[in-house]
Amino acid sequence: MDERMARYLAMVEDHLKNLDEWIVRLVPRKENMKADALAGIVATLLIKEAMMLSIYLQATPELVCSTNEANLGWMHDIVKYL
């Protein structure tokens, strides 16, 4: 374990002493993507006091791809051209 993670673990253990009960639970990556993104933002900022931070959540993908019918034969485009 690197020194940074050891300090983080010590801090977490110190905070856990203040709680009567706590549970460690694995959160699936799919359910944790927003939290990971926010944690990444916070980790890069030097925050000394509470502040409002606007977050843009892109609801639709930026890239759109089209698909073709997979069952069309190799001659389909040739016949269509003729």
Residue 14 predicted with pLDDT over 70: yes
- With respect to residue 12, please indicate whether it lies within any of the assigned structural domains: yes
Question: Would residue 16 count as lying in a domain?
Answer: yes
With respect to residue 54, please indicate whether it lies within any of the assigned structural domains.
yes
Q: What is the pLDDT of residue 25?
A: 86
Q: What is the DSSP letter of 74?
A: T
Q: Could you list the residue range(s) of the whole structural domain that residue 28 is in?
A: 3-59
**pLDDT confidence bin for 1, thresholds 50/70/90:** low
Query: What are 31-61's pLDDT values in tens digits?
Result: 888 888 888 887 887 777 777 878 777 777 7
Residue 77 lies in a domain: no
Residue 43, SS3 per DSSP:
helix
Confirm whether 67 is domain-assigned.
Answer: no
Q: Is residue 79 part of a domain?
A: no
Quick one: pLDDT band at residue 69, thresholds 50, 70, 90?
low
In a domain, 65, yes or no: no
Query: For 36, what's the count of Cα atoms within 13 Å in the CB-facing half-sphere?
Result: 7
76 falls within a domain: no
What pLDDT score was predicted for residue 47?
A: 73
Number of domains comprising the chain: 1
Mean predicted lDDT score pLDDT of the chain: 81
